[in-house]
Amino acid sequence: GNSVTQMEGPVTLSEEAFLTINCTYTATGYPSLFWYVQYPGEGLQLLLKATKADDKGSNKGFEATYRKETTSFHLEKGSVQVSDSAVYFCALSDLGAAGNKLTFGGGTRVLVKP
């Protein structure tokens, strides 16, 4: 079956530091990959997505590249702000094997200190 593994948190950073959150996946088909963000007390927001190998998703200074050879979709941001403090979820969608379902990783809490 499908699965997503992401690094455990919490990740604590200072403002303007570089952020990387690792995400690897296992899928029986050819999935699309997503990063969702959950700010404190809020629901999930789609941060970025990539639908095929070597695609780079980007939004709000965050980037992630779909690496089929390493089955990875690591999230990066060059200079984080306090407002980036949130929980980040990596997810995959595999229409072929799993219908319309999303499979989520465990989430990574990021805390950015001023």
Give residues in contact with other proteins (CB under 8 A): 32, 34, 36, 42-46, 49, 51, 89, 93, 95, 99-102, 104-107
Distance of closest approach, residue 60 Cβ to other proteins, in angstroms: 15
Give, as one character, the DSSP assignment of residue 52: S
Phi, psi of 41 (to 5 degrees): 75, 10
Q: Which is nearer to other proteins, 42 or 54 (CB)?
A: 42
Q: Which is nearer to other proteins, 14 or 45 (CB)?
A: 45
Torsion region of 69: left, alpha or beta (phi above 0 gives left; psi -120 to 50 gives alpha) = alpha
Question: Please, what is the end-to-end C-alpha distance for the chain in angstroms?
Answer: 41
Distance of closest approach, residue 78 Cβ to other proteins, in angstroms: 26
CA distances from 114 to 34, 42, 62 (A): 28, 22, 19
Distance of closest approach, residue 74 Cβ to other proteins, in angstroms: 18
Q: Which is nearer to other proteins, 17 or 44 (CB)?
A: 44
Distance of closest approach, residue 13 Cβ to other proteins, in angstroms: 20
CA distances from 65 to 10, 23, 52 (A): 23, 11, 10
Q: Which is nearer to other proteins, 17 or 98 (CB)?
A: 98
